Amino acid sequence: MELLDGKGLANQLKAELAEKVKALLAAGGRAPHLAAVLVGDNPASLSYVRNKVRSCEQSGFRSTLIQKDASVTEAELIEIIKGLNNDPEIDGFIVQLPLPRHINADNITLAIDPKKDVDGFHPVNFGRMAQGLSAYLPATPFGIMKMLERYNISTSGKHCVVLGRSNIVGTPISILMSRRGEPGNATVTLCHSRTKNLEEYTQKADILIVALGIPNFIKPEMIKEGVVIIDVGINRVEDASRKRGYRLVGDVDFENVASRCSYITPVPGGVGPMTVAALLLNTMESYQGKIYSGAS
Ligand code: BQF
């Protein structure tokens, strides 16, 4: 069993970005600039945004954090987004999820200029991705693809089983894994809450990508010996022995499953850090103007 060290790889990617930024500045250019909008005081959202700001610092990026009270209206938030869309100093921005319930996240996503949508959530970016055109890829799937690429894990002709069909992880990673390319060229099965006899699928997976949000869901008897497991779950479970009162666990019962895998991502330190690094890669692409430069 080999651990997929997302934290180490993310640090490496951020160091590579920092080198690029150094060269840009030396040539008289400016640094890439990412903005984040944070609404309310959800502790998980706060921690994610802090990770992103800190990662910008590590990569030499400029970052701007816009914080709004949970009482902000959808219309006010859309005005903020319009301002960011039209701000020439900002290469890309994100609106941190989850949002308070009175705000419709789809309306927010639709208000973002696809050219600045470095989270890759806008339907224009999603559609471009699905057709194999250049696009901002959603950060988690992009981070997973980078991890498979850097670890030279072959995916061509493999059976990849994805658990979870969200717009930001399960659905896009199933598209990326099945499309032409390396990583890619996999045969993909997308399972979800209505799937019957789930184990019949998980047991056949050469590559298992789990994005359910259920702590320790995958047990050893559900998998095939030698499988590659990508655990996207980031669940807070109570733990009185920790300073914070909780610890992070994945969707995979790591303790009992890991020894049966050829590769597995840990939680924390697996997919999470790669998600943040991928966001910075998208911001650099926006800075460089590559995605929307030509016909495709
Ligand atoms: C780690 C996210 C669910 C919903 C909205 C490092 C992050 C997490 C874990 C992080 C996530 C999850 C982010 C670790 C950003 C990943 O060491 O394991 C980094 O900051 N993430 C997000 O912005 O929104 C989410 C998960």
Q: What percent of the chain has pLDDT over 90?
A: 98
What's the average model confidence in pLDDT over 112-118? 98
DSSP state for residue 136 in the 8-state scheme: P
Q: 288, 282, 270, 284: which is closest to 10 by C-alpha?
A: 270
Cα separation, 285 vs 137, in Å, equals: 11
| DSSP E strand stretches across the chain | 2-3, 33-39, 62-68, 92-95, 159-163, 187-191, 207-210, 228-231, 235-238, 246-249, 263-264
Cα separation, 65 vs 86, in Å, equals: 17
Q: Could you tell me the distance, in angstroms and rounded to a whole number, from the CA of residue 272 to the centre of ligand 1?
A: 5
For ligand 1, is residue 275 a contact (CB within 6 Å)?
Answer: yes
Summarize pLDDT for 169-214 with one digit per residue, the tens: 999 999 999 999 999 999 999 999 999 999 999 999 999 999 999 9
Q: Please provide the average confidence, as pLDDT, over all residues in the chain.
A: 97
Q: Could you tell me the distance, in angstroms and rounded to a whole number, from the CA of residue 267 to the centre of ligand 1?
A: 11
Q: What is the pLDDT of residue 293?
A: 84
Q: What is the pLDDT of residue 248?
A: 97
Domains, the chain: 27-115 (3.40.50.10860), 139-271 (3.40.50.720)
| Ligand 1 pocket mutation, candidates 5, 14, 276, 282, criterion most atoms within 8 A of CB | 276
Q: Could you tell me the distance, in angstroms and rounded to a whole number, from the CA of residue 233 to the centre of ligand 1?
A: 9
For the cut 90, the answer to whether the pLDDT of residue 294 exceeds it is no
Please tell me whether the overall predicted TM-score, pTM, comes out greater than 0.95 for this model.
yes
Backbone angles phi, psi at 207, to 5 degrees: -130, 125
Specify the residue with its C-alpha closest to ligand 1, atom 13: 48
Q: What is the pLDDT of residue 202?
A: 99
Told to judge if 67 belongs to the known catalytic residues of this protein, a careful annotator would answer no
| Cβ-contact 64, 90 below 8 angstroms | yes
Summarize pLDDT for 223-263 with one digit per residue, the tens: 999 999 999 999 999 999 999 999 999 999 999 999 999 99
For the cut 70, the answer to whether the pLDDT of residue 296 exceeds it is no
Q: How confident is the model at residue 295 (pLDDT cuts 50, 70, 90)?
A: low
| Ligand 1 pocket mutation, candidates 52, 212, 275, criterion most atoms within 8 A of CB | 275
Q: What percent of the chain has pLDDT over 70?
A: 99
**Ligand 1 atom with the shortest distance to the CA of 98:** 5
Cα separation, 275 vs 271, in Å, equals: 6
